[in-house]
Amino acid sequence: MLFACVPAMSVHAAERPAVLPDTMAQRVLACTSCHARKDVNDPYFPRISGKPAGYLYNQMLNFRDGRRQVPIMSYMVERLSEPYMREIAAHFAAEHLPSPPIQKSGASAAVLERGRVLVMQGDPALRVPACIACHGEQLTGAVPAIPGLLGLQRDYVNAQLGAWRNRTRRAHAPDCMAQIASRLGMPDVTAISSWLALQPVPAGVPPAADVARPLPLKCGSAP
């Protein structure tokens, strides 16, 4: 059996280049194996292509410095220099993969309408601004550091808002998202995530050049 394997091993070795190309695409294969697979849309490994470079850079810093607590991500970035993190962020910001398919939803019409209102109008009584006030009129984010909200699965949005609520996800102070999440009850979190998950990603629409200033809340990660 051992000898039978030798020819196959030789063929596979021959298929590999003697020297791997020194490109950013080659260097970040560890990232794309989770965040850019076309055959998988895992809610806990969101697509990062096309996100603003400043946002991606901030998230690597947050993983490195413990503001976000995902052990595998902290391990991946703990030895990266900040200039190299910026290179990686710029690489993914310039990449645009096809949008994942829209999820089906079992949410009621009332829940979806509540989600739409919170996203598009906010809730003054709760002191919760509209999501579009920061994330852009088309919810595709804004440069340099505000992410888009479309193309994310419902479970991912639930998990991130929950992490802000229980302080296992933080950002540079003042942490505006932690403030907003703390003012939302779980039914409202579910309403927002359910409505967002049903919205198509507009084709060819990049993050906005900017959003109206000042932002509704001071955000340390989006100066």
The reported pLDDT for the residue numbered 3 is 40
CB 53 within 8 A of CB 86: yes
pLDDT digits over 76-85, tens only? 999 999 999 9
pLDDT digits over 160-182, tens only? 999 999 999 999 999 999 999 99
The residue among 72, 60, 93, 59 whose CA lies nearest residue 30 is 72
- In the block, which residue shows the tokens 């995902």? 70
Give pLDDT < 70 ranges for the chain. Answer: 1-17, 38-41
Domains of the chain as residue ranges with CATH: 2-197 (1.10.760.10)
Specify the 3-state DSSP secondary structure of 17: coil
The reported pLDDT for the residue numbered 136 is 96
- Nearest-angstrom CA–CA distance, 215 and 197: 24
CB 197 within 8 A of CB 190: no
Q: Which two tokens stand for residue 40?
A: 């998988």
- Nearest-angstrom CA–CA distance, 95 and 120: 28
CB 51 within 8 A of CB 93: yes
Residues 6 or more apart in contact with residue 134 via CB below 8 angstroms: 142, 146, 176, 211, 215, 216, 219, 222
The reported pLDDT for the residue numbered 126 is 98
CB 141 within 8 A of CB 207: yes
Q: Got the DSSP string for 71-125? A: HHHHHHHTT--HHHHHHHHHHHHT--PPPPPPPP----HHHHHHHHHHHHT-BGG
The reported pLDDT for the residue numbered 4 is 47
The reported pLDDT for the residue numbered 40 is 62
Torsion of CA 111, 123, 190, 156, to 10 degrees: 140
